[in-house]
Each structure stands twice: as C-alpha cells, then as structure tokens.
Amino acid sequence: MRKNLITVIILAICIINLVFNILLVFVFMPSANKTNKLITDIAEVLDLEIASQSSDSSGFDVSNLAAFELEQGNPINLASDGSDKIHALQYGITINLDSTAGDYQKVSETLQASTSLIYDMTRDIIANYTYDQVIDVEVQRQIKEQILQKLKETFNTECIYSVSFYNWVAQ
C-alpha cells in the first residue's frame, strides 16, 4: 500500500510539473517572440547602416582627387575676444576637386581665375572667430565646412569635395 501511495504522489507531482511547464511555455513564448523580433529588427537596421556606410566609402576613389592649392595669403585679423590684444591668423588653403565630375574642367578654370574671391570668402568666414576659437580643432572643422558650403554655393557645383588648411598659424 505504501508503494502505491508513493507512486501516486510521484505521478501527481509529475503531472503538476507538466502543467507548470506548459503554463510557462504559454506565458513566456509571446514575450520571447517579441524580443526575438526586436533583436531581428535591430540587426536589420544595423546591416542597412553598415551597408550604406560601405557603399558611401566605396563610391569615391581618393585617387580621383585633384588639389587646387592657394598660396599662404595675407594675415587675417580675428574677432576681438574682449582683451585689448589684436590677434591674426595666416594660413594656406587647398581645395580638393573630384576630377571625375562632369563640370570639373569648368570649375577648375573658374577657381584659378577667382583666387581673390576665394581669399575674400574665407577671410569673411574666419574673421568672425576669436583667437581661442581658431586654435580649437573642432572650430577649425566647422570653418572648413562653412568654407566648403560657401564654395559650393558660389560656384554652383558638387565638384568641390573638401577643403584643407596648411600652415595654420594664429598669433
């Protein structure tokens, strides 16, 4: 009689365990499916971002850059920073052109004929900054972006790829 009672108890516990396992599956499966879908969606977005970045970088070959270099110009007076000191900046600028662009030849010739205009545009942009700002690398990047946008607007082209400075000396 004892063996039958223990067998019945073990059978009842196994059935209760089976019911709890089934209950756990039905309770946790919807949230597991939602989590799996979320992870899949994030992975797809990351794959798209990685694919777009790799296609952007492979879309342009650096060997297609043609540099248009302007010699170091006259010093530019910087904006006043509140002290009585006058600060100046002297620099050279290189305009990098995409030689595969359709209007490359036209833009290249126009740039060579417009050096004083380019110096004037860059002077107008740089003169708005103080000494403390122009020695900051982040501000220099902002200045490059502003000059790049102004050049693209002025010459109405996307042929101009980037702007670089050399001999950047602030006093």
What pLDDT does residue 82 have?
78
Structural contact between residues 163 and 148, judged by C-beta atoms closer than 8 angstroms: yes
Q: Among candidates 53, 161, 163, which has minimal Cα distance to 101?
A: 161
Q: Using one digit for the tens of pLDDT, what is the confidence trace for 58-84?
A: 456 677 788 888 877 778 888 887 787
What pLDDT does residue 168 have?
82
Say how far apart CA 153 and CA 160 lie, in whole Å: 10
The residue to which tokens 């122009």 are assigned? 134
What pLDDT does residue 11 have?
93
What pLDDT does residue 60 have?
62
What pLDDT does residue 52 have?
59
Say how far apart CA 54 and CA 57 lie, in whole Å: 5
* Maximum pairwise Cα distance, the chain: 111
Query: What global pTM score does this model have?
Result: 0.61
What is the fold, at CATH topology level, of the domain defined by 62-170? Tetrahydropterin Synthase; Chain A (3.30.479)
**Which residue numbers in the chain have pLDDT < 70?**
1, 48-61
What pLDDT does residue 159 have?
84
How many other C-beta atoms lie within 10 A of the C-beta of residue 100?
Answer: 13
